[in-house]
Structure 1
Amino acid sequence: MDSISTPALLGSAVLIALLSALIMGAFSSKNQMPVDGKTVLITGASEGMGRSAARQLAEKGANVIIVARNVGRLEEALAEVQAAARNPQTQRFHYISADVSQPDYAAPLLAEAIAWNNGNPIDIVWCVAGKSVPDLWLEAPLSSTREQMDLNFWGSAELAHAVLREWCSPDAPVVPEPRHFIFTASVLALFPVIGYGSYNPSKGALKALADTLVQEVEIYPQKVKVHIVYPGSIDSPGLARENKTKPEITQIIEANDPVQTPDAVAASAIQGLEKGQYSITVALLGHVFRWGVLGGGPRNNWFIDTVMSWIVSIVWMFALPDLYGKIRKYAKKNGHPATYKKTNSS
């Protein structure tokens, strides 16, 4: 769903990945986000990446609260997460049914979570809930952009506002280990692709918010860390739904894109969080896209990110002409977009 690949980009990226792997292998640090005995709340956890993340954190000893709309899927997911517990006698698990796209959902959700957690603040909150409905932006109703903004951006922003105000209030304790708030964006926030015009703004807005909040929490005495994860295509029910409306030109551009399993994406994201990374990509192309748009954002590693940003700027000299060449060739062959048939729309 969320990336673009060309032979030139992939060839250069492989060399970059090998170099970065050698360099990064020389650096190691302790776990920056231990979860054993901590309470984690995850939205969008009834399927896909969110469900996998919940299970993997349970395997590491976390108490887990999963959030989604569908109670039946929540019950199935909770059983799976509970079965994965590292310490079944002491770990606790709970689900909350909520529609995160609705205004003012966050306060009651957070209140229920804190009450279940014996009145204690949640230690880690991870917003995964989201969806993509691809289409050409000019051909789609504007309501599609609003709907995806409500879920993908406001669903995370409202919970972030409620949680961070709780963690950073004047009477909130300063605890030895930081609490963590995690946004889930998309590699499309790093490199937009045609066909996602109704989706890209919501994920780009999340990036802008996270880039701001990672600075803002520094002025509070409480220890709070903000992170943002940029997954690409995930083999999940969400991808199957997405493919029903995906324009043909988008499918052409994404033809060689790797599709990761939810388990692989969750594992890579958790690994980045444990390393203390702010901006987390989970696959090769995601790393390339992140290096290409660093700008004034925080670095995970100043040396690696700086060197790779220089290299990727050269990669774009070959990748971008290839991308625009495909789009123009498709337009010349197929005429005005109003005449296109929706692919897999049945």
Structure 2
Amino acid sequence: MVKIGYHISHEQFSPKDLLAYTQIAAKSGFGLITSSDHFHPWSESNSHSGFAWSWLGAAMQAVDLEFGIVTSPAPRYHPAIIAQAVATLNQMFANRLWIAAGSGQAMNENISGVRWPDKATRNSRLEESVAIMRRLWNGEEVTAHGHIKVVAARLYTLPTAKPKVFGAALSEQTAAWLAPWSDGIITVNHPDEKLQKVVAAFQAGNPAGEMAIKVQVSYAENLKTAEQLAWEGWKNNILGGEIQAELSHPKHFDEAARFVRKEDMKQHVLISTQPAAYIDMIKKYIAMGFTKITLHNVNRDQENFLQMMRQEVLPTFSHH
């Protein structure tokens, strides 16, 4: 079953506003809410950084939808704490939450004072973290002495069903690596040729795994405004996965994005005033095998975007 989702960006809006948008999204016909989990935002200006886990308790009580959160289980958190948070939410809310586990970004994880390691170490740490969380969800007492240290940890409140763990991947190499240990993959909208390689790499290692995609879009009533708002709201986020993992402070992103041009945004963001463009995009990703397609309107105007989706786009997919 295909679910079309609305993405909650804690880096861009206050938790209070995001709760209101979630309630509008639920009434508009969205079937899924996905959330980011940051300590720092992407920019110094016009930004927020609410705590996603507090927010999820309120949001899951407010609307009866499926939720997904993109998170890094270590080192800012200990994976046992994430396992406990997920178990608690899924015990209260009928297993409506899944997580997408990533290897992290320096801008969030550096606050812990732990040296930021290379990608291979981060990947190894992530795989260990997921294994620890799954053992805890099984009710096991867990002790581990790898990258992650755990001593006699056990959850006494278990989730109602085994939570799904998706792996976050921006490249075909990462997609191939995470396929064997994940329940699914989450990626973002790349050019079609690159995206097809990411999909093929994942499916080769996990043919039955679920596939989710977060699509950056910018909707406004005229194209120039949509382009301008996309550039203002999201230019710091198109610098490339490796750079984005290594920069350690919002001001570094502001500095790095000084030379991003408005026309550069089109490779990374669907910028359109036409509902048909959003319908075609969703159909394309359904045809590629994605069952969770989340739209992230990267500009400030969420109300008009949600209204357009309710009136013009989501009715097309109500039978899914």
Same fold at TM > 0.5: no
State the TM-score, normalized to the length of structure 1.
Answer: 0.34
Structure with bigger gyration radius: 1
* TM-score where L is the length of structure 2: 0.36
Structure with the higher strand share, 1 or 2: 2
